[in-house]
Copies of this chain bind each other. A is one copy, B any other.
Amino acid sequence: MSPDDPGRRRSSRSTAAILEAALALAAERPYPQVTVESIAARAGVSKATIYRWWPSRGAVLVDALAARNARDVAYGLPDTGDLRGDLAVVLRGVVDELADPAWDALLRALTVETLQDDTLRSQVLATIFTPQLEAFAARFAVARAAGQVGDDVDDLAALELVVAPVFHRWQQGSGSLTHAYADGVAARACRALAPADRPDAEG
């Protein structure tokens, strides 16, 4: 499946152009207007080339985001010893990203696709969600060793405590997404994570 696998000879130029076009379009216009035709046009590529390599518009989008993440994103959380502070930093970053219209649109598009296609959901889970979970898990392991996180909370549940409120609020539009809010979420998460006998220990 390497991009230059002889016998397939998939054009890396075209592939890159398609992924880039998909991201750009999803970031700049309502998702229903991000059609395969528009992606093809923007990429200077034929529709047939897209259909040759991807089964659907959503698959292109997911691939595009995965490629971008692989290129640009450094997974890994800060570790200053202060769990609440570290989580607050991360959540402030999330809040800032969600405030960017391009990221907002991109994430909406991605969510729409995963809601309608279980294959894509699995793919997102594997390529986007899991690396983030692992980054959090690494930080939680440190925190657990420092007695800041109880043994009864698994990594997935812990991650949900931290990020789910933010994404829920983003998706519902039920409240404002500020740095102060991010700090509050981090604080509450730490309270919930703390071992029962040593609530919210700060090391």
Partner-B contacts on A (CB < 8 A): 30-32, 108, 111-112, 114-116, 118, 121-122, 124-125, 129, 133, 153, 156-157, 160-161, 163-165, 167-169, 171-175, 181, 184-185, 188-189, 191-194, 196, 199-200
Contact = CB atoms under 8 A, between A and B. Distances in A.
Query: Closest 5 interchain pairs by CB?
Result: A164-B168, A192-B192, A164-B164, A160-B165, A188-B192
Nearest to A107: B115
Given A161-B192, A165-B164, A167-B164, A172 B108 contact: no
Q: Is the interface of A mostly helix, strand, loop or mixed?
A: helix
Contacts of A193: 188
A163 to B, nearest CB: 7
